Amino acid sequence: MPLSQTILARILARFRAYLRLTTPGTQPINTAPSPDNHPPSPCAPLPSLSNPDLQREIRAERKFSLAEAISREGGGFMKGESTIPRPLRATTEIKQFITTHLEPAGAISTTLQTWASSDIRLSRQLDTPLVALSEIIASILAEPTTLSEFARQVAIAHSQLTGDRPQFHRPDQPPDPTAAHTHSSIRAALLSLRQQIPSDL
């Protein structure tokens, strides 16, 4: 989302004042009070993006992302905190849990790792990533269309692993008897994995 007009106006006004001060032959700066009763400050420095107030205004108009969260966590490295950002630790914990309880290099495992890592629920549960994983699995199982899309991605992942042609299972048709994964087998694997997540998190 673009910066608000207020922020841009503040930056532009100070930049123009700076240019008038540093450029020879320019007209004197008008020092009359502005309409909002705030006299101009020609010697004021350019706004810094490290200014806390400006940062809060900018962040209020930007969408949260996992990559941004990782970059913010980097500020704590010099304070004696863990050198691994919380979003990365959360993603790693989820991946380790999945590979421990599912076939590590299997299509369901790799697909779920990718699916969970990009789910917004993870960014809301950075301190309890397995809670996020439980919610993610529940959301896949709750909606037939979501399960169908997950199964489609599993079929693609299996094809990439084996080199075979992907076998897609349509919900309204019986599964191919030679298919490595069906909706039923994927559902059973996800249910089993979710049941192994500790309930006292």
Q: How far is CA 97 from CA 22, 100, 153, 182, in A?
A: 60, 5, 20, 23
Q: Distance between terminal CA atoms of the chain?
A: 35
Query: Buried b / exposed e across 116-148, counting CB within 10 Å, b at 16+?
Result: bbebebbbebbeebbbbbbbbbeebbeeeeebe
The residue ranges of every structural domain in the chain are 5-62, 86-195
- Rounded Cα distance between 49 and 127, Å, is 29
Residue found by looking up tokens 């950075």 in the block: 126
pLDDT in tens, 41-50: 444 444 454 5
Which DSSP helix (H) or strand (E) runs through 106?
Answer: none
- Rounded Cα distance between 188 and 73, Å, is 37
Residue found by looking up tokens 């806390």 in the block: 52
Q: Which two tokens stand for residue 195?
A: 């049941």
Cβ neighbors of 162 (< 8 A, separation 6 or more) are 180
Higher-pLDDT residue of 159, 53: 159
pLDDT in tens, 154-172: 999 999 999 998 888 777 7
Q: Which two tokens stand for residue 109?
A: 């495992």
pTM: 0.60
Tell me the pLDDT of the chain averaged across its residues: 76
Question: What pLDDT is attached to residue 201?
Answer: 74
